[in-house]
Amino acid sequence: MALVLIGANNPETIRVINAINRRPLIDVLGFIDNDPAKKGIDFFGYKVIGGFDVLPDLIKDHLFVNLITRDCITRYETSKYVAEKGGHFANLIHPSVNLEMVEVGVGNYFQENVIIQAGVSIGNNSSIHMGSLIGHESKIGNSVFIAHGCNISGLIEIEDGVFIGTGATFLPRIKIGKWSIIGAGTVITKNVPEYSVVAGVPGREIRQLEHKYTSGDIF
CATH number of the domain within which 27 lies:
3.40.50.20
The average pLDDT across 144-163 equals: 97
Under the banding of pLDDT at 50, 70 and 90, the label for residue 18 is confident
Decide if 201 is inside a domain.
no
Structural domains counted in the chain: 1
Decide if 186 is inside a domain.
no
Decide if 19 is inside a domain.
yes
Decide if 102 is inside a domain.
no
Contacts of 47 (CB under 8 A, 6+ apart): 30, 31, 40, 41
Neighbours of 65 (CB within 10 A): 25
136 is catalytic: yes
- What is the tens place of the pLDDT at every residue in 51-64? 999 999 999 999 99
Decide if 162 is inside a domain.
no
Under the banding of pLDDT at 50, 70 and 90, the label for residue 24 is low
Decide if 67 is inside a domain.
yes
Catalytic residue among 62, 94, 136, 148: 136
Residue 16: the pLDDT is: 83
Full residue range of the structural domain in which residue 16 is found: 2-92
The average pLDDT across 13-28 equals: 81
Residues 13, 3: contact at Cβ < 8 Å?
no
Indicate whether 1 pLDDT > 90: no
- What is the tens place of the pLDDT at every residue in 91-125? 999 999 989 889 999 999 999 999 999 899 999 99
Contacts of 202 (CB under 8 A, 6+ apart): 187, 188, 189, 190
Indicate whether 2 pLDDT > 70: yes
The average pLDDT across 153-161 equals: 97
Lowest mean pLDDT among 21-30, 116-125, 136-145: 21-30
Under the banding of pLDDT at 50, 70 and 90, the label for residue 139 is very high
Neighbours of 118 (CB within 10 A): 12
Tell which residue, 82, 170, 89, has the closest CA to residue 124. 89
Residue 118 CA to residue 59 CA, distance in Å, equals 34
Decide if 18 is inside a domain.
yes
Decide if 61 is inside a domain.
yes
